[in-house]
Structures are given as structure tokens and as C-alpha cells.
Structure 1
Amino acid sequence: MTDPHRPDRWPVPDSVLRRLRSDPEDDITRAAQDPDGFWLEQARQYEWTREPTTALTWNRPDMQWFADGQTNITLNALDRHARGENRTRAALIWLSETGERQIYTYGLLLEQVERAAAGLRHLGVQPGDRVVIYMPLTPEGVIAMLACARLGAVHSVVYAGLGVGALRDRITDAGARVVITADVGYRRGKLVDLYGIAAEAIAELGGVEHLILWERIKTYQREHDARTVPWETLFTHGHAPAVTVNAEDPLFILYTSGSTGKPKGVIHTHGGYMVGTAYHLRQLFDVRGGDVFFCTSDIGWIVGHSYIVYGPLVAGATVLFREGAPDFPDTGVLWRAVQEYGVDILFTAPTTLRLFMKLGADTLKPHDLTRLRVVACAGEALNPEAWRWAQEHIGGGLGEGAHAAVIDHWWQTELGAPTLGTHPRWPVRPGYAGRPLAGVDADIVDENGQSVPDGQQGHLVIRRPFPSMMRGIHGNPDKYAQIWNENPAGYLSGDLATRDEHGYISILGRSDDVLSVAGHRIGSADVEDALVSHPAVAEAAVIGIPDELKGQSIIAHVILRRGFEDQVGQGLRASITEHVRRELGPIATPAEIRVVEALPKTRSGKILRRLLRAQALGEDPGDLTTLEG
């Protein structure tokens, strides 16, 4: 019997419904009946140098959206707002960990981007060139992204928490001619030497012609790489107009982890990505021009690309973003920002909600959060306990008198924009991401591509493309084709899922060996490669185990090289841990190093990580018939 105090689905209070402006039902119906007509209608809301007449052209796995259209995403993110009444509206509100604040109107942001783009052009950056951006979460990082886009250059942002090895790999794979970085970033009051990491990463990369340096603190003395160009010199070469590009021209490459090999460079384009991300900002998040939209992600991830930079700016909203941890320098800093800047929509991660759940509701009580009308979560599964707590204490309660809807949704770097979600008007099924959104043909299938019954576990697939999906994997068309062709049903997400009788889908976890730490996808192969590059480690295998706060923690199993066995009690584990931190960054740091004599393998030599996981969790490991004897 269902507990009346914990129903399967929670209805949305009327007090919340009255505040919402978007309604998805008509769009879902129209997109299902005429997807091409629906998406062309969305596309025609924007400024095109040549307006498209076609929507999807698809020869699986290759797709094109609005292929005969021409535009530049910055025309819609900047120019069309700065030319009109939005010129003096705040586009960006930035807060630093140290208390600094900067506000850029649409007019000022356009001017800065035009000048930065002219500076890049002076350095020889041309349409199609790749530029790696290794910057902290600051307006300068956003300006660098937009300046590349304005020239038709392809930016690849690398999260500033990643280390030398990870940055070098991404620069090399992208074939970047230019790298943009800062002297330092801030992390919980400490300075992170970003320039030092960047300079070391490119030290032996002859293809990098320029290392552009934004110096935040002039007293940070160091020896400069000979290719270093001061950031401020970019702004001395006039103003660059937006270069007209085809809708299908690449906008950016963003690296995301796979289960094997190196991270894959996901390619997104100007036209489809623009239309898809802006649509879901309006429809799922209920954002309109003039709203204050606070996104707690980072520009190094897809959420930051889509919902700190491009989506909000195309929509004409004001985006608030902040460098630093949500509970530093004190536990009230995030909620003071929500109150002070009149935030309408907050987009954060379940990890953040669980952090404040752990800290307790008293952290929220001094702050007026009643302007919030939507709190959206993505990154990892939003567990029922965290949803209920957030709805009670951030959203204003579970019944009448509530002011905000706390919603879950799911997507990936490869998908660009929300794909499954619980619209703020829909009842919430805690533990379920929600239903397929407008234009999304999602299904749960078996290995043969056949739909499985409701309640049964299967593979989450996308049967038909939508505009914001990736167009390929940089330098690896075979991997891209595999993602579309491995399962007959369509795009294979790599996630296992189940669906209830109302069409709500719950994400159960990965079907491969990708780890999810605080919402960040990390390939097991990346961590294992970093481990075995330590001189003491002969072989390694990593697993993710549940973590109350971060979703998963990384446990590393290592076999030591001969001669190192006696050093285990002499700081060897700490040395290995610090090595991984240096190579990949803090998010990939193992929570525990376990020294083992052997690793469980199949007869073909593949490591059975599921056996390690089952042993760590005390679970049944399942079929072990392939275990090496």
C-alpha cells in the first residue's frame, strides 16, 4: 500500500503552477506529429544570414539540422540584443570567491567580444581553427568562448580543475594552435597555478603557436613560455564582426569520458545547438528574457556551455555565475546571492542539494528564497530524500504556499540540452528523471533493440535525432558510428534505465565503466592510465562506489612493481594519489588506494570490474563463468 505521506507522485501545488509561464503539452504533441515542422518553427525565431528551409537530413548515423541555413551563434547571443532595448540589460553577473563582482550588459559584452575576436584574428586565428580555453569560471573565460565563436573558430574548453596530462591530451587531440589561460584560479581560498599547468602541458607541443595569458594578480612572478601573449593586447586591434558560418559548421569540441581509451571530443554546431539549448531554457526551465538564471556549473562542462553561456544569452536572460565552492567562504554564500540578485531559476547539481541537506536547513533560514520558481537539477540522479528536503526547504514546501518546483532532468555532453525531464507543471516522481521532452523519441530497450516492458531494466536509447545532439567525435568517426549502430534501436546512451506506467524514466547507472563523481563523468581508463604512469604501479583497476555526497567515490586497486612492496607503509599510497591528482586533477583523485596481488580477469584478459565492485559492496557478483582460472 502506498504511504499517503510519501506518494509515488507528488502533485504540483497551485501556488507554484500560477507562477509558471511555459506549458509543454502542445509542443510535445506537435513535435511528435511533425518534428521537422516543429523544429523549423523554433529555428525561425532567431536571426539567420540565410534562413533554413529544411530541418533534419539524416543518413544514420550522420545528421544535419537546418543545413541550408547560415548564421553565427553570437549574432543571436549578443548582436540582436545589444542593438535593441536589451542593450543596457545585464547579460552576465559574476561573483568571485573573494567577494569581487562584475556586471556586463549586453552592450558591453558585445563590445568586449568584438575586440577579443579582433585580437585573435590578428594572431592568425581563422574559421575552423581550434582554440583550447583553460580558464577559471570568470567573464574572461566566457568572452574567450564567444570571441572564438564570432570568428567561426572552434573552441575547446578544458575544465580548470584538470591537470597537466589531461590538458596536454586534449590540446593534442584537438590540434589546437592557440591556448588561452589565466595565471591563477581560486579554490577554497587557495591559488591554483593555471599558467604553470598550461605552460608545462604545451612545453613539447610545437603545434601551439600562442599561449594567451590573462593575469589576475600582477605579483605572481614566474618565467613565461616564449609563446606567451598578454590577454590585454587582444583588445588593441579594433572590432570584429561575426563571421557568417553554415548552420552545421562546428562551434565547439568538448571532451567527455568514455569507458575505454582517451576522452572523446564531442562536436557541436552553431545552428542546431543554438536552437535546442535556447528552446529548453524557455520550455523546461521556464526562463524568459529579463529573468535572472543562476547556474552553479562551470564552463568546462556541457552545462556551463549550454546554460551559463549560450542558452541564456540567446534567450536574452541575465545569467548569474560564481567562481568557487557553494559553501565557501561560508555556508550562506550561495543563498545570499539568490536573495540579493533576485534569482528566478536555479540550476544546480544533486551533489549541491545533498551538501546543504547535510549542513541542515538552518543554513537557509536567514535568506529570502521566495523569488525562486524553479530549482532544476542534473548531473547525477536526484535521490528521493534530497528532492523531498529541497522541495521542503528551498521550494517552500510540499503543499499550498510553496513558491518553487524542484525538478530533475537528464542529458549528456553528447546531447547538448535536456532530454528527459520533469516539467515544473508535472507531478514529481522522486527518483525518476522524468518523461521525454518535446522532440525526444526515447525508449528503454534490450540488446536487440526491442522495447522492454514497463518496470524492466534496459538500455536507454534515442531513436531519432534532435537538434542539439552532437554531430560527431573529433578524429574518430568510427566511435561516433558505433554509438549509433551498436544497438538497432538508435543512439545508445550508455545508461541503464527503467520506465513506469506514466512514462517517467529512472536512470539506474552506467552500463559501461564510466565513473560519475559529483556529476562529472570520468573514464575508468583515464584514471587507470594515470595510476600505471606512477613508477611503483604495474597494473590498476578502478571502480566507483556509492558516496552519500558525491554520488560515487573512486576506489583504486593497484598491483605494485617488484621492489616497491616494502614502501606501502612509507607514504606510497599518498604518492600514488598525488600523482593522479597532478595528472588528472582533484575530481579524479581516488578516495582509497588498495594494494592487491592480482586483479580478477576474464579468460580473454579483461578486468572484471563488476566483481571488484560487488566485493566492495558485499553483493552477489553474478555470472563468473568467464573468470580466468
Structure 2
Amino acid sequence: HPHDAEIYPPPSEVSQGAHISSISEYRQMYKRSIEEPDEFWKEISAGFHWNKPWTTCSKVNYDLKKGDISIKWFLEGETNMCYNCLDRHVEAGHGDQIAYLWDGNDDEEDKFTYAQILDKVQRMANVLLSCGVMKGDPVAIYLPMIIELPVAMLACARIGAVHSVIFGGFSAESLAGRILDSKCKVVITADGVMRGPKPIKLLEITDDAVKLCQKEEHEAPDHVLVVQRLGETRMPISAGLTPRHKLLSELMSKADSKCPITWMAAEDPLFMLYTSGSTGKPKGVLHTTAGYMIWAATTFKYTFDYHEKDIFFCTADCGWITGHTYIAYGPMLNRATQVLFEGIPTHPSTGRFWEVCAKYKVTQFYTAPTAIRALMRYGDEPVTRNDLSHLRILGSVGEPINAEAWKWYHKVVGNDRCPVVDTWWQTETGGHMITPLPGATTLKPGSATLPFFGVVPIVLDAEGNEIEQMECSGYLAVKQSWPGQMRTVYGDHHRFEQTYFTLFNGENKLISDRFYITGDGCRRDKDGYYFLTGRVDDVINVSGHRIGTAEVESALDEHHDCTEAAVVGYPHPIKGEGIYAYITLRPGCDPSEELRAQLKSQVRHDIGAFAAPDVIHFVSGLPKTRSGKIMRRILRKVAAGTTDDLGDISTLADPSVVAQIISTIPKKA
């Protein structure tokens, strides 16, 4: 592997003030977290407010042979997420500290202190109570990245309601499915939002979703609470309002500004968040109160090495887990000041992210490889024209980052002085699982490096056995529970057990049933560093070689004319599976046979001849969901030649790319 030899030790200026300032300190703490977990978590949990202290650190069954999977942490404890995020900071005299620096789509700005957020949260909590919301009731939140979004989440947490945030890019069908599954009686939405230059009619989509719910013979939500983000002149809605609709600003201005805390048992549900499965309808990942709170706060503090006066900027939307853990909760628990960003990275210019970083003197910046790769296309100038001297730490989230994008991010954005924390985790894990610590970990491009405290990753072979030797590749699993782990799939514990605690091989034989199965493949190098190689269903077996699609994509991305690569397997008459690569080229570059040959030789060079793509298909764009994830199901079907049954493509950001891909299919060798 060409990049294994490249290492980036932690810069001394980062190590010096860091919470964890050396690898030996990390190893010592890690060892304690595994060998003496009760003592370890007792010390950490002392930094939070408990209405009633916990008595037992954890009680877990991971083995299906011994009964139902059961995960409980901080038993008998009572606390409240909202109190720990807001009230305790204000009571300690920090009410005037800025919590959120809001940066709107069209150069709009606002800022909110901890005291102001607490006031808004209490008013919104009282509005929810007036709508009949009780402890344990689900509330659907379908909002853009405006202050009301984290406020709504914290208001639910205050009164014990279980929020289900649905990303504002989902269709009416997707929204209705999520409302129906959790039987929400209240939906919080907005009139609309500008996404770049394009208006999105959120209320219209919500109303369509409510109609779909009525069709399903489920009582549709009783209340649709509407934030007027764009206002009547830009997004007229008043003509279509019914008794079900209520304008949130009117209700909040009339609401009492004091709302008492509902104390929650440690294992009371905090939120559910729907995520796509490899099969079936989206599943509601359920997180509970105390374990998730401690995981969100602890991972935020150490992974980003957050200190007082830092300015944190996570570009995610609160509709995804990253926006829950690293916008709404983790930073607030640490009394952080952060940027809340509504826009898109290319509006009004391709330097938007870097302009925001310069404007607010951002110290930690956290974004996705998809965004980094997209912005690389525009060259260095949109970055370098901004003063990014305040940046100290860069983060990557959402998918494995290819070495080329990693190095550009490190060199151009970080000016070769900011560690890149490449964080591996999932909606299901609640927070970071494998990640560098900026003051302690020597970095390798493309590696998530080492496990976080309390995390015991293992690699399983094709038979489901734990691989003992250090250097290996296989299925990534986790041996024991950690506080932030999801507890169940909402309303379907059996699906939770089958999805996350059983592993079947290619012949559909059960090979493991006593570990948390991540669904990801990985490679572990001689230093114990983990490299994520893509989903297990994205592993291709070519002539007996197991090849991770992410590794092939990473190699293709190295070619200067390739903007983005997506690789899938397809049935091959001789090799079993062949490698099919979709390539988008940089603007002004045309497809050619010479370029095809260069791309294949790039893969041969980086991985080996066995990994060279059999088919290279040049496309103008890839089918992506609105969150930027590539919909590989479609690419697999096109590669396999089964284009007559592509399933539902309505959730794509731009469904028209599918027809373009089909019209340019190359001949297979």
C-alpha cells in the first residue's frame, strides 16, 4: 500500500496544550478504559449533572445464544440532556457566552448566547406541551439549518419527548414513511428554505406527506408547527393554512419562558434517527439518554481537542447523526461556541466554506470527503485567498477519505500544520469509534488510526473467526459495548439483532453471532492502524482476491483528471466478479482510450494488477442522495446490465443522471 509509509507526527504546537498530548498518555488511558471501565467512566461521568447518581456502570448481553441482545449503561441514574447542555452553564454564570454563530444561505448572520438558547428552548418546550406532547412521545422535525432546529431538539430532550429529525432534502414519501413508522402527532417544519439559489418548499412537502399519512389510515399528525424562514413575501403560505397549521413564532412569543426539567432515567429514549438499511425500509436507530450524552461529550472533547475560546464549525446538517452528536449535543455539553451553517459549499462562490472559516476565526473544521473532493476541483485559490491561520484541527466524516483528498486537505486547507482527524463511526455508534487524537496520534493518510476509549475493534475472517495477527483484512466488528451504542431499532428489536449481531458469509451461512457487526470491511496494518475499505457489501471478490471498492476508488482519485470515482462489482464470466468503475472527469477534460489506460495503470500501480478495473464508464455525474451519498444499488444494476428494474430513484438529488448513465454504457471486454 503506497501510503502506509507516509506518516505525519502530531505538530508540537498542537500537542503542547492538548488534553491528550502524547501517544503514551493515549495508550495508558485506553488501557484503563478497557481493563477498568467502571472506574474510567465513573471519573468521566462526574463531569455531568445527575439528578440521581447511577449505581451500575453497564449490564450487557452481546451473545444471541444467551438470550435477547440487551445494552444498558449507567443503571439507576437520572439526568437530562437539555439541563447538561444549557441550564448548568447558565447557572454557572456563562449565559452571555455565544453558543451559535448562525450563517445563513445568503450572507445573513445572527448570533445566540447560551441564555438566549435556553429561553427559546423553554418556550418551545411549553409549545410542545400545549400540543399534548408527553414524555416518550415522538416528535418529527423537518427543518432547515436555522436556530429553531437545535432548539427543537433540545426542547424535546427537556420534556422527555423523542425527536425524529428528518433531513430537509427528503421527499414527501420519505417524510411520510418516517412519520408513519413512529406515529408522530406533531411535526415541526418551515415555510421553505433557499438551498443555494434554489427555493425548497418545505411546507408544501410536509403537507403532501400529511396527505399520504391520511391515505394510510393512520391518524395524520394533529399539529404542524411552522417556522416562517423565508416569510410571506418570498414564500406565501397563508392561503393554504388549516387549523392543523400553527405559526411557531406566534406560539413561542406567547409561551411561558420557564419550563421545568423532566428528569430521565439513563435508558429512557432520547431520539430516533432513520437510516437506510441494505434491505427493507429505513430503520429507526434508537439512542437513549445517559450513555449517548457521555459519549457525545467525551468524543467531542478529545477528538477535536476542544478548549475554551475555540470556534468549532461542523458543516453537517442536523438531519444526520453528525449534526446530532457534533452540533446539537456534543459541543453544547462542552459549552462550545460554534458556527451553524445553513448554505451549501458552492454558493455564492466556491470559496464559501473557507470564507466562513476566515470570518469567524474557526479553530476546528469538520466536513465530509465528498465536499473536500468537490472543492478540490476548483483549485487552491478559493482556499488560499482566505486567512485560515486560526485553524488548528481539520476533521473528516461520513466515508473513508482517499489519500489524495486527505493530502490536499492537509496541505492546502491546513497549510501543512493542522492534524486531520479522520473519524470512523456510524449513526448506530452514536459518536466516534476509531479516530486520531490530534495531540497524540501520528497520522497516515486514509487511516482512521486507533480506537477511541472503551472501543475494542476486532477483525473477522471469512469464517467469522477473530484474526489474531496484527496485519490483516476482513470484517470489522466490535467486541464489547460502549456507552453511545444504539439500543434497538424503534419498534423492531428482532431486526436490530439480525442486522447488527449476525454475520453471514457469501453462501448465506451464519458465521458470527456474538459481536457488534459494523457492516464495514477494514485492513489493519502492522502498527495496528485501521483503514476502512468500504461496506462489506461493497467488497468485491475478484478471482479469489477480496478488494474493497473504497481502495480502488482511492487509487482512481489519485489521477489528476478524475474528480470522483465510484466502483462496484459485476458478474464476470471468468473472475466471478469484475470491477466496474464510474468516473467523473474534471471540467474541460474529455474521455479517451488513452485516459482509460492511464486510469487502469494508476490502480495497478497503487494496489496491484488484480485490482485494475475491467470496465471504465465515463459519466457526467453520479446518482447521489441529497446527503451526498452515492446510491450504489443503481450503479450495481447498470453494471450488471439489469437496467429495467432500478427501484425507487425519487430520493436522488438529481434523478436525471440515471438516464445519462444508461445512455453511455461502454462495451464490456
Common fold by TM > 0.5: yes
Correspondence 1:128 to 2:126: no
* Amino acid in structure 2 at the alignment position of 1:39: W
Which residue among 51, 54, 62 is the counterpart of 1:52? 54
1:616 to partner: Cα distance = 8.3
Q: Which moved more, 1:507-516 or 1:128-137?
A: 507-516
Aligned Cα root-mean-square deviation (Å): 2.9
Q: Write the letter of the residue equivalent to 2:315.
A: T
- Counterpart position of 1:390: 409
Pair 1:232-2:244 in alignment: no
User: Who is 1:30 aligned against?
Assistant: 32
Partner of 1:276: 295
Counterpart-to-counterpart distance in 1, 2:478 and 2:637: 40
Deviation at 1:367, TM superposition (A): 1.4
**Quick check: 1:420–1:435 contact (8 Å CA) kept in 2?**
yes
CA distance in 1, matches of 2:367, 2:51: 35
1:586 aligns with 2:601: no
Per-residue deviation, 1:584: 2.2
Verify: 1:408 aligned to 2:422, yes or no: yes
Q: Deviations over 1:129-156 (max 9, x none)?
A: 0000000011011111111111100000
Shift of 1:594: 6.4
Instruction: State the distance in 2 between where 1:190 and 1:474 align.
Output: 34
Q: In structure 1, which of residues 218, 226, 246 is the aligned counterpart of residue 232 of structure 2?
A: 218
CA 1:2 to 1:78, structure 2 compared with 1: closer, same or farther past 3 Å? closer
2:164 is equivalent to residue 192 of structure 1: no
Residues 587/346 of structure 1: CA separation in 2 closer, same or farther (3 Å cut): farther
Q: Per-residue CA shift, 1:87-136, capped at 9, x if unaligned?
A: 10001111001111111100010011001101110111100000000000
Could you tell me how far apart the structure 2 residues matched to 1:93 and 1:478 are? 42
Q: Tell me which moved more, 368-377 or 20-29.
A: 20-29
Change in Cα spacing, 1:497 to 1:588, as seen in structure 2 (3 Å) is farther
Paired residue for 2:127? 119
Q: 1:242 to 1:158 in 2, by over 3 A?
A: same
What residue is the counterpart of 1:439 in the other structure? 454
Q: Larger deviation: 190-199 or 586-595?
A: 586-595
Does residue 108 of structure 1 match 2:116?
yes
Does residue 1:428 correspond to 2:443, yes or no? yes
The aligned amino acid for 2:336 is: A
Does the residue aligned with 1:111 lie in a helix, a strand or coil? helix
Q: Look up the equivalent residue of 2:523 and give its one-letter code.
A: T
Instruction: Report the TM-score, using the length of structure 2 for normalisation.
Output: 0.78
| Corresponding position: 1:319 with 2:338 | yes
Contact residue 470 and residue 527 of structure 2 kept, 8 A: no
| Change over 3 Å in CA distance of 1:354–1:148 after alignment to 2 | same
Listed as ranges, the matches of 1:100-499 within 5 Å are 100-203=108-211, 204=214, 205-216=218-229, 217-219=231-233, 220-222=235-237, 223-235=240-252, 236-238=254-256, 239-397=258-416, 402=417, 404-424=418-438, 425-452=440-467, 453-482=469-498, 483-486=500-503, 487-499=512-524
Task: Give runs of aligned pairs for residues 553-572 of structure 1, distance below 5 A.
Answer: 554=632, 556=634
Match of 2:241, as an amino acid? H
Relative to structure 1, the CA distance from residue 502 to residue 547 in structure 2 (aligned partners, 3 Å threshold; closer, same or farther) is farther
Secondary structure of residue in 2 paired with 1:421: coil
Asked whether the 8 Å contact 2:520–2:534 carries over to 1, the reply is yes
**Residue 28 of structure 1: SS of its match in structure 2?**
helix
**2 CA distance for matches of 1:474 and 1:143?**
23
Amino acid at match of 2:46: R
State the aligned residue count. 554
Q: Distance in 1 between matches of 2:60 and 2:653?
A: 40
Is 1:7 the counterpart of 2:12 in the alignment? no
Percent identical: 34
SS at match of 2:375: helix
Q: 1:588 to 1:295 in 2, by over 3 A?
A: farther
2 CA distance for matches of 1:412 and 1:553? 17
**Structure 1 counterpart of 2:72:** 64
Give the superposition deviation at 1:62: 0.8
Aligned to 1:526: none
Deviation at 1:16, TM superposition (A): 3.6
> How far apart in 2 are the matches of 1:290 and 1:173?
42
Instruction: Compute the TM-score of the two structures, normalised by the length of structure 1.
Output: 0.83
One-letter code aligned to 2:475: H
Distance in 1 between residues matched to 2:99 and 2:445, nearest whole Å: 34
Identify the residue that residue 39 of structure 1 maps to in structure 2: 41
Code of the residue aligned with 1:82 in structure 2: it is V
Give the Cα–Cα distance (whole angstroms) in 1 for the partners of residues 61 and 306 of structure 2: 34
Q: C-alpha distance in 2, partners of 1:119/1:291?
A: 33
Distance 1:231 1:148, change over 3 A: same
- Taking the aligned partners of 2:270 and 2:441, their CA distance within structure 1 comes to 34
Identify which range, 282-291 or 41-50, moves more after superposition.
Answer: 282-291
Which residue does 2:525 correspond to in 1? 500
2:103·2:341 contact (CA, 8 Å) conserved in 1?
A: yes
Partner Cα separation in structure 1 for residue 285 and residue 393 of structure 2: 29
SS of 1:149's equivalent?
Answer: helix
| 8 A Cα contact 1:162 1:585, kept in partner | no
Partner letter of residue 478 of structure 2? I
Partner residue of 2:575? none
**Alpha-carbon contact 2:145-2:318 (below 8 Å) kept:** yes
The separation in 2 between residues aligned to 1:502 and 1:551, in whole angstroms, is 31
3-state secondary structure, aligned to 1:420: coil
Describe the superposition over 1:342-401 as per-residue Cα deviations: whole angstroms up to 9, x where unpaired.
21111111122212221111111221112111101011111111111111112222xxxx
> Structure 1 regions of 5+ residues with no counterpart?
518-542, 561-567, 597-614, 620-629
What is aligned with 2:18? Answer: 20
CA distance in 2, matches of 1:82, 1:338: 27
CA shift in 2, pair 1:251/1:337, >3 Å = same
CA distance in 2, matches of 1:473, 1:116: 28
CA deviation after TM superposition for structure 1 residue 40, in Å: 2.1
Once residues 629 and 142 of structure 2 are traced to their aligned partners in structure 1, the CA distance between those partners, rounded to angstroms, is 26
Partner of 1:78: 86
What amino acid does structure 2 have at the position aligned with 1:202?
V
Secondary structure of 1:40's aligned partner:
helix
Q: Distance in 2 between matches of 1:556 and 1:279?
A: 38
CA separation of 1:617 and 1:378: change in aligned 2, threshold 3 A: farther
Residue 100 of structure 2 aligns to a residue whose secondary structure is: strand
CA 1:510/1:148 → structure 2, altered by over 3 Å: closer, same or farther? same
Kindly indicate whether the alpha-carbon contact (under 8 Å) linking 2:403 and 2:446 is maintained by their aligned counterparts in 1. Answer: yes
Task: Find the residue that maps to 1:512 and give its secondary structure.
Answer: helix
Quick one: structure 1 residues 210 and 544, their matched pair in 2 at CA, closer, same or farther if it must change by over 3 Å? Answer: farther
Partner of 2:562 in structure 1? none
- Equivalent residues of 1:326, 1:333 under 8 A apart: yes
- 2:2, 2:283 → 1: CA distance? 44
- Relative to structure 1, the CA distance from residue 151 to residue 589 in structure 2 (aligned partners, 3 Å threshold; closer, same or farther) is farther
**SS state of the match for residue 265, structure 1?**
strand
Q: What SS does the aligned partner of 2:30 have?
A: helix
CA deviation profile, 1:206-235 (whole Å, cap 9, x unmatched):
241111111121222241244111112331
